[in-house]
Amino acid sequence: MPALTRRTFLTGSAALGAYGLGLGGASLYATASAATPITLEAKTANALLDGQHLTKGVMTYGLESASADPMPPTLRVKRGEPFAAKLVNRLDEPTTIHWHGLRIDNRMDGVPFLTQPYVYTGDSFDYAFTPPDAGTYWYHPHCNTLTQMGRGMTGLFIVENPDDPVFDAEIDINLRDWRLGSDGQFIEQFKPRDAAKNGTFGTVRGANWQVQPAFDAPAGGLVRVRLAATDVTRIYILKLDGAEAKIVALDGQPLAAPLALDQVTIGPGQRLDLVIRMPESEDQTVSLSDIRPSTAKVVATFRATGASLKRDLGEVRPLPANPWTPPDLKNAETIPLILSATAENAAKESFCGSLGYSFWAINKVPWPGDTSDPMAPLAELKRGRSYILNLENPTPHLHPIHLHGMNFQVIASNARAVAPLISDTYLVLPDEKVQLALVADNPGDWVLHCHIIEHQKTGMTSYIRVT
């Protein structure tokens, strides 16, 4: 990583003045002012990740009210209520926080140079916003992400809806792996040969920073499981054994009709809300497994406790919908968005951790890295107008494409039947062409990128500008 200087910081601030700030506030995305801030400390720690060795150099977030749990705290807020957090950087490198999936003010989005300056060691940044949507979200840095996220900085962010049905239990799962050697210490996160394919996989599978955690839940009860795939690489195909379940939300957004769970694919950045009907008898267990690529690996288990509550999965109703403006498809403008591989070459020096290669591009342009002088936006969108992103993936790999700041609706795909889901992350298949429609209702510069972090950091990143 290159030397970090105050000069860089000032350059970044100047750039922000030029195009990042000074945007009129949209009421839906207004910055919160009334919340008492929590303090989130970015810091290093040691943690037991493989169940046998204490791993050194773990990176995490801690609240001031220090808990013994080294995992970043699961933050819970209520929809429509202001939230504020002071990020204090105790790492020895810069960082920021991005609030994945939350439609909030651009200044709170956490992308270095595009929306805010780096937060240097010892410095802080005040985040404040009011989440407009309920659902399961998460937070992570947007700086040197392969290292910072790979070493632990991924946490759940849950926006509760007071109108949601009450379940008999709620379990939150932060689904991610670790790249550790046999001694339990971190090994190299980046392998160029893998980054040019599916990415470099972890060696230790985890959920909530444990190996196969076991949760207790009331027998015969309805349990809401909120799950976020926060791994830097792994795409999961999840399957449940020992109980029936329904999917009630995907990527934070409620399904109009809950869907019986058979198996479900989720990629990095995506979320899944399930309602599991626990078995009748005490000590019966349910297991959640990942069956991709082939051999099933247990992710977590759920054990029934107590006398049966005699609930019925048929009682599960759709969760209340989030506010949503349907795009005007008849008058929508089309934006091509073609993912591709690119010739291997060195990327520009980047203060937020360049991997030194460009393997990937969007519309043939590889992202040069986070700099004070980024490339032009992929497209300029007029506030209030509707657009269709024509996303094409001619590569032989899957890519979970994430858009910041706004949700889109899935309109059509050449590869599969699609439901009109609303989301912020679409897992595009090899050779798939998909149409994602949105209303450009949140002003600012919004990054879109693959959430396989090695793809993101070797070129598969761009941004759109809404004015």
- The footprint of Cu ion (CB under 5 A) covers 399, 450, 452, 455
CB 340, min distance to Cu ion, A: 11
Give the single-character DSSP code of 285: E
Quote the least distance from Cβ 355 to Cu ion, whole Å: 13
Identity of the residue, 59 or 391, whose beta carbon is nearer to Cu ion in the bound complex: 391
Exposed (0-12), middle (13-18) or buried (19+): which is 18, by Cβ within 10 Å? exposed
Structure tokens at 104: 């909030």
396 C-beta neighbours (distance < 10 Å), count: 10
Q: How far is the CB of 405 from Cu ion (least distance, A)?
A: 20
- Between 370 and 454, whose beta carbon lies closer to Cu ion? 454
Q: Which residues contact 107 (CB under 8 A, 6 or more apart)?
A: 20, 21, 23, 31, 115, 116, 444
Angle CA 214–188–101, to nearest 5: 55
* Residue closer to Cu ion, measured from CB, 107 or 399: 399
Q: Which is nearer to Cu ion, 288 or 452 (CB)?
A: 452
Our CB check for Cu ion shows the closer of 104 and 146 to be 146
Q: Which is nearer to Cu ion, 62 or 199 (CB)?
A: 199
Q: Which is nearer to Cu ion, 173 or 428 (CB)?
A: 428
d(CA 35, CA 140): 21
Q: How many Å apart are CA 161 and CA 158, to the nearest integer?
A: 10
Contact of 220 with 244, CB cutoff 8 Å: no
Nearer Cβ to Cu ion (140/455): 455
Rounded Cα distance between 18 and 12, Å, is: 10
Closest CA to 361 of 387, 375, 342, 343: 342
Q: Are 318 and 256 in contact (CB under 8 A)?
A: yes
Q: Spell out the residues 6+ positions from residue 250 whose beta carbon is closer than 8 angstroms to its own.
A: 270, 271, 272, 273, 421, 423
Burial class of residue 259 in the structure, from the number of CB atoms within 10 Å of its CB (0-12 exposed, 13-18 middle, 19+ buried): middle
Distance of closest approach, residue 452 Cβ to Cu ion, in angstroms: 4
**Cβ of residue 366: shortest distance to Cu ion, in angstroms?**
13
C-beta closer to Cu ion: residue 103 or 455: 455
Amino acid at 57: G
Q: How far is the CB of 201 from Cu ion (least distance, A)?
A: 14
First-last CA distance in the chain: 34
Q: Are 59 and 91 in contact (CB under 8 A)?
A: yes
CB of 433 to Cu ion, least distance (A): 16
In the complex, the smallest distance separating the C-beta of residue 442 from Cu ion, rounded to whole angstroms, is 24
Nearest distance in Å: CB 13, Cu ion: 31
Letter string b/e over residues 442-458, b meaning 16 or more CB atoms within 10 A of that residue's CB: bbbbbbbbbbbbbbbbb
Q: Toward Cu ion, which CB reaches closer, 39 or 340?
A: 340
Strand-strand pairing, 271-277 and 285-290:
unpaired
**Residue that has been written with the tokens 């957090």 in this structure:** 85
**Minimum distance from CB of 450 to Cu ion (Å)?**
3
